[in-house]
Amino acid sequence: MRGGFGLLTRVKSNKTDPWSFTRVFSNELWAVIVCSATFLALLLPHWLVSCLLLRLLPLPLLHPLAPAFYRVFGKLWNVVSDLNVVSIISKIISLAWGVATIVLIANYTAALSGYLTAVKLDISITDVEQLKTGTWVHMMIQLSTRLDGLDAMNKVRTGEWDAMLMDKPWLRYYTAQMCDVLVLDVVLTPLFMGWGLNANLPPQVLDAMNHELLEMQVEGVQEMLEAAWLSDATCDYRRTGPIPFADMAGLW
């Protein structure tokens, strides 16, 4: 039967978060965005006042950067017919700010979709060096019985252990109905069980065994056994699917 080692780890709760749309950017990045928006908000009325003064007095704009920022935002949101920026410096600033805005929007959209649909693992290991000197400091208990393995698995479920490396068919069998843990794919080279026979056996016995094994392979006995005993997980880890309103309620 196909084997290999799988990694068992906890999955974070799927509780809805009304402010999940703000989790995709760090606090520092949000602070920069807010400061930039505040800067634009303060420049806009000043620009309008400057335009009003231009009608009364032949004075140039005190801050030519203001129309550059305002116009590029207006063009992006299709509320301004054209950029109408004459200064070369203002055009360069408008182009740079427009590119930055587009990049921010694209990254936010991609990060938000990944944050809301990807499986969130509850694991504190962030570096391979921690496996030697950090959170993983004890050897795994001896799995002399089935209960020893279940005890080790419960330590992962309760958070006492970050992860557990174990034979994947064993993990699939016992975790098919568990929604608080997730078995990652085979992390080491897959293993295949084989038969160890005495070299002095008669050739007729070896030929008969090879024939039966080939027949089992043709009939798909291994696949039938896996379907009967190693059922797929029935949990919804929200890898895909529509985003619920509860996760975006904070926006309103």
Question: From CA 194, how far away is CA 5, in angstroms rounded?
Answer: 17
Please give the single-letter amino acid code of residue 219: E
DSSP structure class, residue 2: B
Name the pLDDT band for 133 (thresholds 50, 70, 90): very low
The Cα–Cα gap between 165 and 185 comes to 11
pLDDT tens by residue, 41-53: 666 666 666 666 6
Average pLDDT over residues 126-142: 53
pLDDT at 61 > cutoff 50:
no
What's the token pair of residue 185? 């794919």
- Mean pLDDT of the region 126-133: 56
Q: Are 134 and 125 in contact (CB under 8 A)?
A: yes
CA pair distance 48, 67, nearest whole angstrom: 9
Q: The whole model's pTM is what?
A: 0.44
Average pLDDT of 113-119? 70
Q: Which two tokens stand for residue 116?
A: 């809301």
Give how far the C-alpha of residue 57 lies from the chain's centroid of Cα atoms, to the nearest Å: 58
Neighbours of 174 (CB within 10 A): 17
Q: How many CB atoms lie within 10 A of CB 168?
A: 24
Is residue 207 helix, strand or coil? Answer: helix
pLDDT value of position 59: 46
Instruction: Give the separation between CA 248 and CA 243, rounded to whole angstroms.
Output: 8
